[in-house]
């Protein structure tokens, strides 16, 4: 029998897998949505961003708000109130940006807040966290005159195809580069504070491990000695759990702590121990964790600017968007010059350039282990010349070799990889 947590995760994976399969069908019609002006003022375009928590979390919500504030570059800021602001655009129109924080994770509360925003004239709404998807999906069906954007790693627009889009970042690319830096410095054992054992964190853990192995190899060490020990806290952000998990890993002898929670507390905890270093995640942890080597940071601003400009121009279309280094959606920041030599940073930045040019970290030969539907270990192999597809990554519930920890729950039908041919010619990673 599954535990209640395992059953919940298994049910979640089943629902996601069904939506993903449906999402692979092409849109029957390509629509361009043109919104009417607000009833009160045709020169005002009202956009609402909903945040699960507060930008003061120094993590996930802070990253989204950092992206939202980049909208101020579109014109002259004429008014600011708390987190919200208005921008006078070059064509004379007003972009009215409202930010609602601390909406929470309860579906009924999210719908209540969303309905209130619509009643106040919102023409475009961004739900910036996973749990907002159901309310956004329901109200998108009710309000065809409003554009809805949901931040998630799972496609869901093909069932709507009119006014609902999804967006997410290929953060695993940044994970790969972060792992590479650790390996190049000669560290082969890393303690990792994981959040939830679902595909998004799993593929990030795997990306970090693959980067660690490559870094070790280029440092003249055996990549097979790479070990990433995962402790799941089963929360996106929990100060006490993050600190306890980091303390436990340090007590086990791990000298590198990889933060993967939405807040910086595991990195901060690591820096309180002599001889321990950290790797940040999501938002630059330098102000809180001076021992951090680098942070792979979310950069939502370019996406928000592009989508709002499209809405203003009447060219907005629904899509399932997944961008990485090539879209400036991931950036490496907080480089620690005292701990990361210039040549290591240069090599890491070359990897970023290689990824932009087409290099894919998740290509064979690649091996790993997961659980089958009967919770028995099963091996997964990606042969030379093949790579994981986006669908394989979006549903990843297995660990590459080198990862230690509790396995994520298996997909209901087992691990069935699509795979694709490796890019031809295969970009050659710079050594």
- pLDDT at residue number 262: 80
Q: How confident is the model at residue 17, as a pLDDT?
A: 38
pLDDT for 269 beyond 80: yes
- Predicted local distance difference test score (pLDDT) of residue 237: 83
Structural domains of the chain, with CATH: 9-169+300-326 (3.40.50.2300), 171-297+330-421 (3.40.50.2300)
Amino acid 62: pLDDT: 94
Task: Note the pLDDT tens digit of each residue in 81-111.
Answer: 999 999 999 999 999 999 999 999 999 999 9
On the question of pLDDT at 157 being above 80, the answer is: no
Q: CA 61 to CA 338: how far, in whole Å?
A: 29
Quickly tell me which residue has 């870094």 as its tokens.
215
pLDDT of residue 375: 94
DSSP 8-class letter at 415 = -
Q: Locate tokens 């070359």: which residue? A: 350
- Percent of the chain having pLDDT more than 90? 82
**What is residue 140's predicted lDDT score, i.e. its pLDDT?**
95
Question: Is-above-0.85 flag for pTM?
Answer: yes
What's the pLDDT at 118?
98
The stretch 172-200 carries a mean pLDDT of 97
Question: pLDDT for 229-246, tens place per residue?
Answer: 999 999 988 999 999 999
- In tens, the pLDDT along 270-319 reads 999 999 999 999 999 999 999 999 999 999 999 999 999 999 999 999 99
β-strand pairing of 84-89 with 94-100: antiparallel
- Note the pLDDT of residue 221: 98
Q: Identify the pLDDT of residue 42.
A: 73
DSSP assignment letter at 61: H
pLDDT tens across 1-46, in order? 333 333 344 334 434 433 333 333 333 233 344 444 444 577 999 9
What is the CB-side half-sphere exposure of residue 395 using CA atoms within 13 A? 25
Mean pLDDT over all residues of the chain? Answer: 89
């Amino acid at each position: 029998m599954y535990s209640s947590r395992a059953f919940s995760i298994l049910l979640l994976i089943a629902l996601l897998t069904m939506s993903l399969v449906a999402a692979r069908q092409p849109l029957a019609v390509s629509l361009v949505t043109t919104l009417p002006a607000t009833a009160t003022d045709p020169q005002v375009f009202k956009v609402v961003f909903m945040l699960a928590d507060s930008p003061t979390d120094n993590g996930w919500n802070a990253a989204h708000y950092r992206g939202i504030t980049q909208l101020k570059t579109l014109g002259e800021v004429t008014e600011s109130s708390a987190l919200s602001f208005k921008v006078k655009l070059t064509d004379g129109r007003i972009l009215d940006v409202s930010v609602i924080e601390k909406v929470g994770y309860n579906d009924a509360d999210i719908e209540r807040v969303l309905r209130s925003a619509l009643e106040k004239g919102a023409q475009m709404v961004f739900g910036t966290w996973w749990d907002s998807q159901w309310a956004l999906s329901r109200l998108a069906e009710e309000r065809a005159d409003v554009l809805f954007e949901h931040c998630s790693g799972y496609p869901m627009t093909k069932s709507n195809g009119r006014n609902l889009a999804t967006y997410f970042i290929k953060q695993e690319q940044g994970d790969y580069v972060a792992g590479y830096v650790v390996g190049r410095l000669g560290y082969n054992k890393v303690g990792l504070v994981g959040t939830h054992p679902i595909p998004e964190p799993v593929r990030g853990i795997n990306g970090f491990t693959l980067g660690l192995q490559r870094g070790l190899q280029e440092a003249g060490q055996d990549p097979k000695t790479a070990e990433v020990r995962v402790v799941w806290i089963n929360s996106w952000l929990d100060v006490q759990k993050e600190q306890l998990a980091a303390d436990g890993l340090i007590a086990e002898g791990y000298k590198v702590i990889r933060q993967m929670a939405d807040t910086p507390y595991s990195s901060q905890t690591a820096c309180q121990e002599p001889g321990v270093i950290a790797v940040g995640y999501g938002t630059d942890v330098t102000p809180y964790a001076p021992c951090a080597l680098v942070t792979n940071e979310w950069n939502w601003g370019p996406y928000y600017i592009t989508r709002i400009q499209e809405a203003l121009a009447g060219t907005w279309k629904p899509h399932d968007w997944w961008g990485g280094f090539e879209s400036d959606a991931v950036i490496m920041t907080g480089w620690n010059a005292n701990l990361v030599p210039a040549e290591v940073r240069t090599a890491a930045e070359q990897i970023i350039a290689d990824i932009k040019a087409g290099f894919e970290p998740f290509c064979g030969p690649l091996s790993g282990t997961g659980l089958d539907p009967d919770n028995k270990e099963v091996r997964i192999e990606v042969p030379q010349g093949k790579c994981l597809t986006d669908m394989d990554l979006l549903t990843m519930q297995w660990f590459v070799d080198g990862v230690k920890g509790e396995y994520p729950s298996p997909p209901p039908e087992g691990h069935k990889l699509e795979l694709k041919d490796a890019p031809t010619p295969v970009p050659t990673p710079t050594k």
